[in-house]
Amino acid sequence: MIHVAVVGAGHWGPNLIRTFHNKETSAVRWVVDQSQGRLDQIQARFPEVQVTTDAARVFADPGVNAVVIATPTSTHFGLAKAALEAGKHVLCEKPIATRGAEGDELGALAKQKGLVLAVGHVFLYNGAVRRVKQYLDEGHLGSVHYISMVRTNLGPIRMDVNAAWDLASHDISIASYWLGSNAVSVSALGHAWINKDVEDAVFATLRYPNDVLVNVHASWLNPRKNRDVTVVGDRRMLTFDDMNMGEPIRIYDKQVTDDRVKPAFLDTFASFRAQVRDGDVLIPKVALGEPLKAECDHFLDCIKNQKEPITSAKQATDVVRVLEAMERSAKNAGREEKV
C-alpha cells in the first residue's frame, strides 16, 4: 500500500483524491489546501483522511510515500522541490514548472535521490491518443504533412498562467508524442481581454522535423467546448474528437492523386474532382477506459518497480521549453522563435 498526500483540492484535486484513495494499491493519508471550506468537504467525504493547510507538515510525515500536486502552475516548482527533498515520490500536474531550467532542476533532484517524478500530461494515457500513435508508427497515414489542434471552452479562466500554459500544453505533449520528436521552432500570437497580461486565446504554429507543421488554437474564451484534432498524411487523413466518447477516431481514405504533379486540363467540375481520391471512412473501436486512472496506476507501478514514467520530467520539460518559445514569439509580434 502506497500512502499518498494530495496537495490541492480545487478543480482537479478531488479526482486525484478519489482515484488514489482506492485502499487496494494506494490510500490518501493527507489532503492539503489553503481553503478550510474545501478541507471540510474532503473530511466529510473521507473522514479517515487527515487535512491541513500546511504542506511542510505533510512532507515531514514519514508515513507519506508519495505527494501529488494539483495546485496553480506558479506553485509547482516550489512544492515539487520541497517534496523531493523530503524523500517523497512526486506526481505533479502539468506543466511541471514555468521555466525549463526549473524542470531540469527537478529532474536532476529526483534522479539524485532515486525518486519517481511523473507529470500529469494525462492525454498520453488516453486510449484514442495511443491508438493514433500506433497508426502513425505503422505508417498507416503515410508521411505526416501537418496537424491541426483546437482546444477551446468558456473557462476555467486562470490568473497565474495564460491559455497556452493551461490548454496548449496538452496539445504540445500529444503532438510530440505522436511525432516522436520535439518542436524545433514556434510562432505564436495571443491576446488578453479579461485579465491584464494573461492571454485568453493563443494561436500558434509549431515546426517539427521533416517539415511537419502543427497548428494550435487554445482558448478559454469561446462559447463551445472543442477538443478537435486533424492529422493530414500523404496517404490518409485522421480526425480525433475527444468529446466523442463512442467514436473518437475517424480515418479518411483520402489523398491528392499524382495528377497534382502534371495536372490535366481542367475544364469541368467533374474533371477537377478527379484530382483527389475520396475513399472509405474507417471508425475503429477504441477501448477508452479512464485516462486519469491509467496515469495514477502507472505512477504507482513506477514507484513499485523503479521505472521511468511515460510522462517523465524530461518529457514535461520539453513541453515547457515550447511554451517559453511561444511567450517569446508573442512578445515579438509572432516572430518565429527556436525552441
At residue 147's C-alpha, the angle toward residues 145 and 149, to 5°, is 170
Q: Which SS3 state, helix, strand or coil, does residue 185 take? A: strand
CATH code 3.30.360.10 region(s) in the chain: 124-290+321-338
Summary count for the chain: helices (H), strands (E): 11, 15
- Output the tens digit of pLDDT for each of the chain's 339 residues: 999 999 999 989 999 999 999 999 999 999 999 999 999 999 999 999 999 999 999 999 999 999 999 999 999 999 999 999 999 999 999 999 999 999 999 999 999 999 999 999 999 999 999 999 999 999 999 999 999 999 999 999 999 999 999 999 999 999 999 999 999 999 999 999 999 999 999 999 999 999 999 999 999 999 999 999 999 999 999 999 999 999 999 999 988 765 545 555 556 655 555 456 678 899 999 987 899 999 999 999 999 999 999 999 999 999 999 999 999 999 999 999 999
Amino acid at 235: R
| Superfamily of domain covering 124-290+321-338 | Dihydrodipicolinate Reductase; domain 2 (3.30.360.10)
The grid cell for 251 is: 480515418
CATH code 3.40.50.720 region(s) in the chain: 2-121
Q: Which phi and psi angles does 213 have, rounded to 5°?
A: -105, 140
Which CATH fold topology does 2-121 show?
Rossmann fold (3.40.50)
186: β partners: 206, 337
Q: Which SS3 state, helix, strand or coil, does residue 149 take? A: strand
CB neighbour list of residue 43: distance below 8 Å, 6 or more residues apart: 49, 51
Cβ-count burial 287-313 (b if 16+ within 10 Å, e if not): eeeebbebbbbbbbebbeeeeebbbbb
pTM of the model: 0.93
